[in-house]
Amino acid sequence: MSTPDFREIAGHLTDSQLTLALQRSGWHKFGGQVGLYTRWRLESDSQTSGSQLLIPQDRETDDYEDLLSQAVARAWKLGDNKIRTVLERAATLHSLGDEIKFHKEAHSRRGTIPWTAGEDLHAGAHKSMVVAAKIRKSKAAYFGSSNSFLARSFLDSVLMGQTEVGSYVVTAYAPPDEVFSEKKLRPGDTIPLIGQHTGREITLGLVSALEAARESVDHFNTSGSTYGFVENVSRGFCYELTQAVRSLIRDSDGAEVEIELNSGEDLFSETPPQRHKLEFTPSDYSVLERAGSLLATVARPQPVTVLGMVTLLERPKAGNPGVVRLDVLGGTSARKMRVRLKVQDYDLAMDAHRNNLALRVTGRQELEGHFYWLYDPEIIELINVTPQTPGVDINSGDQDPLF
């Protein structure tokens, strides 16, 4: 077994991972200072000072990397084949999390890529990561602005790696164990039992969605049927994903997405980490364009003028914007509509609710999950609607929560 580059190994390890490796290899902690360092020795050599090593814990100190490299070297020298195997695996893994690589091949001079093709590569990677989070919360043919909080929270914790030499790759590192909530939690809120998703679950969702995209395109190419486009929505195939993959393959000779699942526990697994690779070609572009057009028509945003009764109101405090729910009387096929209103318009909605008046508002209707929202509301006015209006029940007592 050749001697590896200990500094390289240390660059792929954390002190906690090295600690776990020592524990599993018969080492014993016998001292240290909390938060600064721990001292370790082999249990079989408890009286020999030459069989000891120090593991740093404070990553903010200037010599942290040097001390960790020295600890790795000592563990290699003094340890058995078990810990050496772990350290060798560390050289091929990393502590940054699940790795997602977006690779684009473009016909250009060696070492270059057309500027617009590079922009599309980054855009495709970004769109793919957003889709990964959105489809974890719910499945839809078209998302629009829905599930945006979960997507933003996830992207805030994803790291971007350096572009690899000689290729055009955008690398994302997603934290596998971090938990992301579907909605913002206020101070003092109890963490809900549902609506929480790990980074690993989101990453695996991207794998499923890309596989569905690949299968949908292949099914269309062999059968000419668009059935797979809608059928695979349940696996994460959606309008936004078609846009993401089209960005990856636009002006290219081909593109691929490679996903490798990595976590600290993978160091101690006897099997190699899971790897998934999905490839797309320029010929897929037109099929994905057709799929996107079909999926977008399922829930395309549309301008509407809605007439409805205000049944629920919610805002953080007086003088702030708020959200109201309308029981729709006309203007759209939606039965209920949620609208986020400015302060003055919210006060008008309160008047409508108090006086049993209908609210007429114009805006852009979008379907988010199971809820219809009206964005950019304007031309708000109060309308007197009598309880005898055919098909209208303005005193319905069976109300669902606003959210």
Question: Which of the pair, 128 or 394, is modelled with greater confidence?
Answer: 128
Within 237-282, residue ranges assigned H as helices are 239-249
Q: Please indicate, yes or no, whether residues 316 and 232 belong to a single structural domain of this protein.
A: no
Tell me: the pLDDT tens digits for 13-24? 888 888 988 888
In a domain, residue 388? The reply is no
Domain-terminating residue out of 251, 271, 298 = 298
Q: At what angle do helices 15-23 and 64-78 cross, to 10 degrees?
A: 20
- Centroid of chain to Cα 161: 16
Q: Please indicate, yes or no, whether residues 29 and 168 belong to a single structural domain of this protein.
A: no
In a domain, residue 392? The reply is no
Closest Cα to residue 380, out of 353, 346, 334, 354?
Answer: 346
| Percent residues over pLDDT 70 in the chain | 86
Question: Which of the pair, 92 or 383, is modelled with greater confidence?
Answer: 383
Strand order in the sheet with 98-105: 159-161, 169-174, 98-105, 254-260, 275-280
Q: Please indicate, yes or no, whether residues 48 and 143 belong to a single structural domain of this protein.
A: no
Domain-terminating residue out of 90, 117, 133 = 90
The CA distance from 237 to 294, in Å, is: 12
Domain-terminating residue out of 298, 322, 354 = 298
Question: Which of the pair, 308 or 299, is modelled with greater confidence?
Answer: 308
Q: Please indicate, yes or no, whether residues 145 and 22 belong to a single structural domain of this protein.
A: no
Q: Please indicate, yes or no, whether residues 235 and 250 belong to a single structural domain of this protein.
A: yes
pLDDT at 333: 73
Q: Please indicate, yes or no, whether residues 263 and 311 belong to a single structural domain of this protein.
A: no
Reported residue count of the chain is 403
In a domain, residue 378? The reply is yes
What are the contacts of 54-60 at 24+ separation with CB within 8 A? Answer: 55/15, 55/18, 55/19, 55/22, 56/15, 57/15, 57/32, 59/15
Tell me: the pLDDT tens digits for 345-380? 999 999 999 999 999 999 998 876 567 899 999 878
In a domain, residue 394? The reply is no
User: Is 50 exceeded by the pLDDT of residue 400?
Assistant: no
The CA distance from 392 to 330, in Å, is: 10
Q: Please indicate, yes or no, whether residues 197 and 145 belong to a single structural domain of this protein.
A: yes
User: Is 60 exceeded by the pLDDT of residue 388?
Assistant: no
Eight-state DSSP code of residue 267: G
In a domain, residue 395? The reply is no
How many domains are contained in the chain? 3
In a domain, residue 398? The reply is no
- Supply the range of the domain harboring residue 54: 6-90
Please check whether residue 247 is in contact with residue 124, taking contact to mean a CB–CB distance below 8 angstroms. Answer: yes
pLDDT at 328: 92
Closest Cα to residue 104, out of 204, 251, 220, 308?
Answer: 251
Tell me: the pLDDT tens digits for 195-250? 899 999 999 999 999 999 999 999 999 999 998 998 999 999 999 999 999 999 99
Please check whether residue 245 is in contact with residue 288, taking contact to mean a CB–CB distance below 8 angstroms. Answer: yes
Q: Could you tell me the CATH number of the domain that includes residue 340?
A: 2.40.50
pLDDT band at 318 (very low <50, low <70, confident <90, very high): confident
Residues forming beta bridges with residue 28, ordered by sequence position: 41
pLDDT at 372: 83
Q: Is this structure's pTM higher than 0.85?
A: no
The CA distance from 356 to 344, in Å, is: 18
In a domain, residue 124? The reply is yes
In a domain, residue 61? The reply is yes
Tell me: the pLDDT tens digits for 32-90? 999 999 999 987 665 555 678 999 999 899 999 999 999 999 999 888 888 888 887 77
Question: Which of the pair, 251 or 400, is modelled with greater confidence?
Answer: 251
Q: Please indicate, yes or no, whether residues 22 and 138 belong to a single structural domain of this protein.
A: no
Please check whether residue 118 is in contact with residue 185, taking contact to mean a CB–CB distance below 8 angstroms. Answer: no
pLDDT band at 266 (very low <50, low <70, confident <90, very high): low
Q: Please indicate, yes or no, whether residues 264 and 377 belong to a single structural domain of this protein.
A: no
Q: Please indicate, yes or no, whether residues 78 and 149 belong to a single structural domain of this protein.
A: no
Q: Please indicate, yes or no, whether residues 168 and 293 belong to a single structural domain of this protein.
A: yes
User: Is 50 exceeded by the pLDDT of residue 393?
Assistant: no
Q: Please indicate, yes or no, whether residues 238 and 347 belong to a single structural domain of this protein.
A: no
pLDDT at 319: 82
User: Is 60 exceeded by the pLDDT of residue 398?
Assistant: no
Tell me: the pLDDT tens digits for 89-110? 776 666 678 999 999 988 888 7
